[in-house]
Amino acid sequence: MKIQILGSGCTACKNLHNSVEKIVQTNNIDAEIEYITDIERIVELGVMSSPVLVIDDEIIFVGVIPKDKELEKIIVNKK
């Protein structure tokens, strides 16, 4: 599984990244996690808000940070 967090480096984006790492560890999920702050790469995806969560090249959400339980459910169901 490849998980990407895209954002400007703001607190919300960093918190999302930390939450994703914690969920992956806690659930023993084999995942590559990438935190992307390059605005050009974000724009290439056609999104204009952040943070963005992408799992296996599918945009899961844009501009929101779900609660940890909801985020965990999304990640676990994608594995």
Q: What is the C-alpha separation between 2 and 67, in angstroms, rounded?
A: 21
- Point out the catalytic residue in the list 3, 5, 6, 13: 13
35 annotated active-site: no
Return phi, psi of residue 46, to 5°: 80, 20
61 annotated active-site: no
- Point out the catalytic residue in the list 2, 8, 9, 10: 10
Q: What is the C-alpha separation between 16 and 63, in angstroms, rounded?
A: 11
Active site residues: 10, 13
